[in-house]
Amino acid sequence: MQLTTECLVLREFVEADWEALLAYHNDPRYLRFYPQDGESEAGARLFVQRFVDQQKELPRTKFQLAACLRESGRLIGNAGIRVRSLGGHETGVRQADIGNEIDPNYWGLGYATEAAQAILDFGFQELQLHRIWAQVLAENSASQRVLEKLGMHLEGRLHEDEYFKGQRWDTLIYAILYDEWKSKKG
């Protein structure tokens, strides 16, 4: 599977992607909003292997794709969608959550929004979902802005929902429905 945008190619992970992932997973800017204090080679390999293994699942419900620069092919992050409810169209409960991460060296250039938009479009067009949601730390204002650019709305705040690095973190839930996405697409 592959999704192509103006600046990115979102493609299936391959085992060799662990090296690029390891580099940004050890950047202090990246680690600010993650529980771990760094990544080992073994951890990065396992992280990527999980995504490779998900490609073989039937029915496939998890699509985590490597985000690569279209011009150079350089891996700069990943973006994905995880189907959480497989209800039929008649029930209208088909939903999934999305998430992405970008190498801090590429923050502020629009790549997170571009990757997330491609994943959102895939979820509504190809997976025929009714609702897509995302959970983000309340302190991560850049990720909140990405979700808002996608047309997602703040649905709620989970107080002290996470605990890591010696503190409690609130998380925010953002979501968008198929009809909202369709009207935004024009």
> Is residue 39 within 8 Å of residue 26, measured between CB atoms?
yes
Give 161-170 pLDDT, tens digit per residue.
999 989 999 9
pLDDT class of 91 with cuts at 50, 70, 90? low
DSSP 129: -
The domains of the chain are located at 2-185
- Quote the percentage of the chain above a pLDDT of 90: 86
- CA-to-CA dists, residue 8 to 42, 48, 70, 99, 111, angstroms: 27, 19, 5, 16, 8
> Is residue 132 within 8 Å of residue 176, measured between CB atoms?
yes
pTM: 0.92
Domain 2-185 has CATH 3.40.630.30: yes
> Is residue 112 within 8 Å of residue 77, measured between CB atoms?
yes
Q: What is the pLDDT of residue 34?
A: 86
Q: What is the pLDDT of residue 84?
A: 85
Give 23-81 pLDDT, tens digit per residue.
999 999 998 888 888 889 999 999 999 999 999 999 899 999 999 999 999 999 999 99
pLDDT class of 88 with cuts at 50, 70, 90? low
pLDDT class of 99 with cuts at 50, 70, 90? very high
Q: How far is CA 113 from the centre of its chain?
A: 10
Question: Could you report how far apart the first and last alpha carbons of the chain are, in Å?
Answer: 26
